[in-house]
Structure 1
């Protein structure tokens, strides 16, 4: 049965009314809580930033607490309230929803709660659809920090099945939620599996790259590799460039010319990626002027060097620095990084094991990240399909 056929059978001829959120419920803005107000034990509380970083679509338990005295002055959400983070640096995350299924919880400012009589998860699913995203965009304001007001949110319409029969309406909403929750639950399980596999990968990586004194020869990175930078700036990038352009971030760019044709480990020279190894280059590529290339010599298996740096280089940089926070790297900081030099055959054996874990936990073309991406796309497809009810003008047309 197709999604459209299922929806027709589920609705069984009942009307779906598109209602402004202001008629469906009431928006109430949070107040007066900062991250510094969190305490070990007290009244459960949610800061708006946690909706982006700690929660998924729904939750019944808070991660943090505030003192009871402060909690008395804060606005609180109750079971079946919809929590909305209403500010972000990008349009997509403005009005990020959280269906609250727990007991009373205090909420911060830059957050609104929406009180209503619908299925809260039905509303949370709908607020992630393309239809809702298109509606909200015309109400978003602000330059660097993007936001939307409760007055404008009240104008946005949502589909409510047979609003004149609340019992029937909630039954229909619950069935749609049941189907969509099956997709999100699978993604949640895969994400938990990925977290477990990453811990397992780290354990084996640390174990395989730890050598007792005298077992292997140790050298410095400067002795076993060439180290240098590129010559390009981020503004040189082009959308459909022929060659990979490694800059300082996790996502590579493109360029129509290349600097090097080799196998190399790439790490950022400054910015948020300092000390972290995001890329393993093979073949022709271009490089940012503040990114470093590490090209291993013939005594080293390049992937072995990659795993050593991915495992230990960030901690080494932090420990070697005289400041508490390293914001940029210079070539001399690479030279003394200690690296084990077991026989090439042993390096290859270790690489074969670690590469399997690396593919399972990090690859976007195979392994768990790829599977999670596919399930998220599947969820988005059925979410938009099951919540795409015709509007009056569409019916008339």
Structure 2
């Protein structure tokens, strides 16, 4: 179409229709989480969606044919995390969810999907009425959506698809770089590679002091005060190191807690999965911080660099070591006492520094939100959301007056 799409939107009439009138609603299949796990086969052709990001890949014969959707559709994730997902491949979903497709030549299903993405907050707020956040079919069936002429719908889809493709390309590039990073990190820290410069195996207690944290529930957080690091934030918020903390606590509370000095490494003791147990965070802030229970503070001696140890905790070699000491099933714990028994390779400090310098460059590229690919992805996503909201901001009385804007 080209030209000024916003002017065309303003000049053309928009019809508002209930979603249930504009599209065809379909049901899912009766299947449990256990059955999805049992039926899952990597690379199977049929995707079954559950809540959040959960799905299973199954064969066509694994579920009733009547429950398989073959039309490009909008999936309504109606419980827990309430959101919309677009799928243009054969699929099904759990029967507490539903989906929509278009059999109307004047309605572009992907255009409707993009519009509904701008309305997710509305539906999420509706869902908070229930103890478990959820919405019902009337909530979407009765929800009215704007239907401009088909050529305008198609142009909006083309523009937003282009932004989505740019983000997807960057994300694919990031995944490749992450794989390269993991490979070189494990190679540089492998026993075979370190033997070239010489190293010794030492337990953590031999190369530093370990101090188990105490207290600090999230209820003790304050708007400002003494920097504080909760163990759960280490595997959900922070990267390898930080100079600032996400949270703070009062001086009165801080006096009762274990102290974290600049250069110390905070290690998680507890998580629901082994990957996040013993995750390390190097604290580089100028002000002394505090941490609480389910975390251990490692104060390295002059035999080991803090970042060298933190990078080593990311390797498969360290994963194998911590597995030996992990206890529990639903909640997994590696105690401070057992952490002290874990062996790490100690090459010369000059070699440690060389490895850290190399891995720091990879880490910036793959993890930094102020530099590198994650920053580019974030900027592209913000750009996409801005133009999506601009293109899909319709008024029910008249099309919003939009400033001059040309998209080629």
Tell me the residue number matched to 2:187: 207
1:280 aligns with 2:264: no
Q: 1:224 deviation in Å?
A: 0.4
Q: 1:52 to 1:288 in 2, by over 3 A?
A: same
Deviations 1:254-287 (A, max 9, x none): 3244533321222222123642425221132220
SS of the residue 1:8 aligns to: helix
Q: 1:326 to 1:20 in 2, by over 3 A?
A: closer
2:311 counterpart (307, 310, 313)? 307
Bigger Cα displacement from structure 2, 352-361 vs 251-260: 251-260
1:197 aligns with 2:195: no
Aligned length in residues: 369
2:153 counterpart (158, 163, 173)? 173
1:134 aligns with 2:132: no
- Identify unmatched segments of 5+ residues in structure 1: 55-62, 162-168
Deviations 1:278-330 (A, max 9, x none): 52211322202221111211121111111112224333211334666761221
2:199 counterpart (197, 203, 216)? 216
SS of the residue 2:270 aligns to: coil
Tell me the residue number matched to 1:125: 114
2:227 counterpart (243, 261, 264)? 243
- Is the Cα contact below 8 Å between 1:18 and 1:160 reproduced in 2? yes
Alignment map for 1:261-340 (pairs within 5 Å): 261-272=261-272, 274-283=276-285, 284-311=288-315, 312-321=317-326, 327-340=332-345
What is the alpha-carbon root mean square deviation over aligned residues? 2.9
CA distance in 1, matches of 2:327, 2:221: 35
Alignment map for 1:67-78 (pairs within 5 Å): 68=61, 70-72=63-65, 74-78=66-70
SS of the residue 1:84 aligns to: strand
Deviations 1:201-232 (A, max 9, x none): 11111111113469312211111011113332
Q: 1:138 to 1:50 in 2, by over 3 A?
A: closer
Deviations 1:69-111 (A, max 9, x none): 6323x423222322222111xxxx31x2222323x43333122
Alignment map for 1:379-390 (pairs within 5 Å): 379-390=384-395
Q: 1:186 deviation in Å?
A: 1.2
Bigger Cα displacement from structure 2, 347-356 vs 149-158: 149-158
CA distance in 2, matches of 1:362, 1:242: 27
- Is the Cα contact below 8 Å between 2:272 and 2:331 reproduced in 1? no
CA distance in 1, matches of 2:75, 2:12: 29
Q: 1:32 deviation in Å?
A: 0.8
Q: 1:299 to 1:51 in 2, by over 3 A?
A: closer
CA distance in 2, matches of 1:45, 1:121: 20
SS of the residue 1:248 aligns to: helix
Tell me the residue number matched to 2:240: none
Q: 1:136 deviation in Å?
A: 5.8
Alignment map for 1:107-118 (pairs within 5 Å): 107-116=93-102, 117=104, 118=107
1:253 counterpart (234, 247, 252)? 247
SS of the residue 2:98 aligns to: strand
- Is the Cα contact below 8 Å between 2:78 and 2:134 reproduced in 1? yes
Q: 1:211 to 1:107 in 2, by over 3 A?
A: closer
Q: 1:353 deviation in Å?
A: 0.2
Q: 1:395 to 1:268 in 2, by over 3 A?
A: closer
Normalised to the residue count of structure 1, the TM-score between the two structures is 0.83
1:80 counterpart (72, 84, 94)? 72
Bigger Cα displacement from structure 2, 323-332 vs 119-128: 323-332
Q: 1:384 deviation in Å?
A: 0.7
Bigger Cα displacement from structure 2, 288-297 vs 270-279: 270-279
Bigger Cα displacement from structure 2, 252-261 vs 335-344: 252-261
- Is the Cα contact below 8 Å between 1:43 and 1:71 reproduced in 2? no
SS of the residue 2:92 aligns to: strand
